[in-house]
Structure 1
Amino acid sequence: MKNLIIPEDYKSILDLDATEKAIKFIKDQFQLQLSSELKLRRVTAPMIVMKGTGLNDDLNGIERPVAFPIKGLSDQTAEVVHSLAKWKRYMLGELQIPTGKGLYTDMNALRPDEDFTNLHSVYVDQWDWEKSIQKEERQLEFLIGSVKQIYSSLKRTEYILSEYYPALKPQLPDEITFIHAEDLLAKYPDLTPKERESKFTKEHGAVFIIGIGGELANGEPHDGRAPDYDDWTTPTLNGYSGLNGDILLWNPILKQAFEISSMGIRVDEDALEKQLKLKGEEKRKELMFHKKLLAGELPYSIGGGIGQSRLCMFLLRKAHIGEVQSSIWPDELRDTCKKAGIIFL
């Protein structure tokens, strides 16, 4: 409850029935825009993977996956995915998807260690995508170009939605603004990372923060990143490190920065070695995924996740993610929100 934001005089623009229809509309439209812009084909994704393969996403390295034994596999342990960050890259190779093209999928995950906030639930749904690239494309300009393509997909979806629901007027700026986490720290040295994000995003409307995971000038990372998918140590053209980042939008309902996507160019062999060492996770080199990557058997790639419920929440001007997804909530939270006009699905 301490993390709950109740906007003053909040009233949903759409009722429950219209909300359900609009959710489908947004999801249908955005995946068409995204797949066309980035040249992605849809694939079917798993909800569970076997423990010990290295395919599950470790997020910040401390979150516990939902795990259980499988009777038909001699009680070997399976895990519900946190995300498909590494599975997607593996599938690029398995499906022999050529350079310049990629895949996307509907990812459904469980993250039981998430704290309940307006933006967080134990259930996570996102478009996970991955695209094969050339080794020489592993540079900042390529990352920035890909972010602009995703932002164009967001803008077009917002416009099309407004044509069908005129009360939902477009609010995204024409362009997305880029800044490195080091420059953001230098700009607001006395603020926390989240405070920096909100202050800068409020000014620009839509931003991409580059270089998340590596240690900054103050000795701390902007935010945590696992060592084995995004590349956050390779030097970029501006002298800083990091070929990854987050897309943030200004949310006028919650009056804060709103993360819609985490993405990046993926580690090559050298970056994986370096990042595993920095995180003290060199034992992962014995896992199936990591062995293949270090042996050069996986394609170079760029990829990320785009929150489905978060996108719907943002475009429909909702105050809580529970208004656009069906999940499990504390009774006190549900009751408090209902009294404030925040009606959960």
Structure 2
Amino acid sequence: MSKLIKPEHYEPLLTPKQTEQGIKLIKDFFQINLSTELKLRRVTAPLFVLKGLGINDDLNGVERAVSFPIKDMGEAKAEVVHSLAKWKRLSLAEYNIEPNHGLYTDMNAIRADEELDNLHSLYVDQWDWEAVITPEQRTADFLQNTVKRIYSAILRTEYLTCEAYPQIKPFLPSEITFIHSEDLLKMYPDKTPKEREDAICKKYGAVFLMGIGARLSNGEKHDGRAPDYDDWSTESEPGKPGLNGDILIWYPVLNRSFELSSMGIRVDPKALLKQLEIEHQEDRKELFFHKKLLNNELPLSIGGGIGQSRLCMVLLHKGHIGEIQASIWPDDMRKECESWGMPLI
């Protein structure tokens, strides 16, 4: 409960019925824009994968996946996905998708170790997307161009939402600002990573923060990132490793920064070996996914996840993600939120 934020003077702008209609409007419109912008085809995705293949997203490497035995497969263990970061790359190869095209899917996950607050839920839903690229496109410029295209789709969706519900006023800036986590550290050396995100987002409104996962000049990471999907160790600029990042905005309803997407250019065999060594996880080279990557059986790619409930929460100006999605919340959190005028579904 200590991390729960009470929005000042909060009052829902939509009725429950309008909220549900708005959620559908946003999800339908945005995914069409995303697929058109990045040339993505929709595919069906799994809710769980077999344990021990290295396919599940390890997030920061400490979160426990929800698992269960499969009776008809000799009690083999399955894991509910954290995300589809690596499964999507396998699918690109299976569908034999050509460069500059890709796929997206509705990803539903359970993250049992999540610390629950206004933004974090046990249930995670996002548009997981992945596209094939060429060796020449593994650059910071290509990454930033892709971010701009995703952000333009977000802006168009905000415009449509405000047209449908005039009581909602747009607040996102017309452009997104790019900054590297090392530069952000130099700007705010006495602040924590979260405080630095708040400061830069309040200044610019929308930011793509690059270089997530590598250690900065102070010896610390801005945030954790698994070593086997995003390429955070490649030298995109002198002294500034990282071909990945997060799309962050300043969210005035909660008066804080707000992450909408995590994405990046994915590891090639060289970057995978380097990052596994940095994280002392060389044993993962023997897993199914990692073997295929090291044997050059998977295409080079760029990809990420865009939070569905989070995008709806922002564009409908809600104070808690539980006003958008049905999940499990502590009783005291439900009571507290009810008293603040934001009843949880």
TM range (shorter): over 0.9
Q: Secondary structure at the match of 1:260?
A: strand
Matched, 1:12 2:16: no
Match of 2:148 in 1: 148
Match of 1:52 in 2: 52
Q: Which amino acid aligns with 1:75?
A: E
Q: Distance in 1 between matches of 2:239 and 2:9?
A: 47
Q: Secondary structure at the match of 2:86?
A: helix
Q: Distance in 2 between matches of 1:175 and 1:85?
A: 27
Using the TM superposition, name which of 235-244 and 74-83 deviates more.
235-244
Give the alignment of 1:78-89 within 5 angstroms: 78-89=78-89
Match of 1:326 in 2: 326
Structure 1 residue 171 displacement after superposition: 1.1
Match of 1:263 in 2: 263
Matched, 1:212 2:212: yes
Q: Which amino acid aligns with 1:132?
A: V
Match of 2:341 in 1: 341
Q: Secondary structure at the match of 1:258?
A: strand
Sequence identity percentage: 63
Q: Where do 4+ consecutive residues of structure 1 move more than 6 Å?
A: none
Give the alignment of 1:35-184 within 5 angstroms: 35-184=35-184
Match of 1:27 in 2: 27
Q: Distance in 2 between matches of 1:291 and 1:281?
A: 14
Q: Distance in 2 between matches of 1:142 and 1:220?
A: 27
- Per-residue Cα deviation, 1:141-169 (whole angstroms, up to 9, x for no partner): 00000000000000000011111111112
Structure 1 residue 170 displacement after superposition: 1.4
Q: Distance in 2 between matches of 1:90 and 1:337?
A: 42
- Per-residue Cα deviation, 1:196-222 (whole angstroms, up to 9, x for no partner): 000010010000001000000000010
Q: TM-score, length-normalised on structure 1?
A: 0.99
Match of 2:279 in 1: 279
Q: Secondary structure at the match of 1:236?
A: strand
- Per-residue Cα deviation, 1:45-91 (whole angstroms, up to 9, x for no partner): 00000001111000000000000100000000000000000000110
Q: Distance in 2 between matches of 1:6 and 1:162?
A: 24
Q: Which amino acid aligns with 2:318?
A: K
Q: TM-score, length-normalised on structure 2?
A: 0.99
Q: Distance in 2 between matches of 1:134 and 1:35?
A: 19
- Per-residue Cα deviation, 1:267-323 (whole angstroms, up to 9, x for no partner): 000000000011111111111100000000000000000000000000000000000
Matched, 1:235 2:235: yes
Structure 1 residue 184 displacement after superposition: 0.1
Q: Secondary structure at the match of 1:174?
A: coil
- For residues 206 and 255 of structure 1, do their structure 2 counterparts lie closer, same or farther at Cα, with a shift above 3 Å needed? same
Give structure 1 stretches of 5+ with no counterpart.
none
Q: Distance in 2 between matches of 1:185 and 1:249?
A: 18
Q: Distance in 2 between matches of 1:171 and 1:180?
A: 24
Structure 1 residue 238 displacement after superposition: 4.7
Q: Distance in 1 between matches of 2:333 and 2:178?
A: 36
- Aligned-residue CA RMSD in angstroms? 0.6
Q: Distance in 1 between matches of 2:339 and 2:147?
A: 39
Give structure 2 stretches of 5+ with no counterpart.
none
Q: Secondary structure at the match of 1:29?
A: helix
Q: Secondary structure at the match of 1:85?
A: coil
Q: Distance in 1 between matches of 2:280 and 2:67?
A: 24
Match of 1:249 in 2: 249
Structure 1 residue 239 displacement after superposition: 3.6
Q: Secondary structure at the match of 2:236?
A: coil
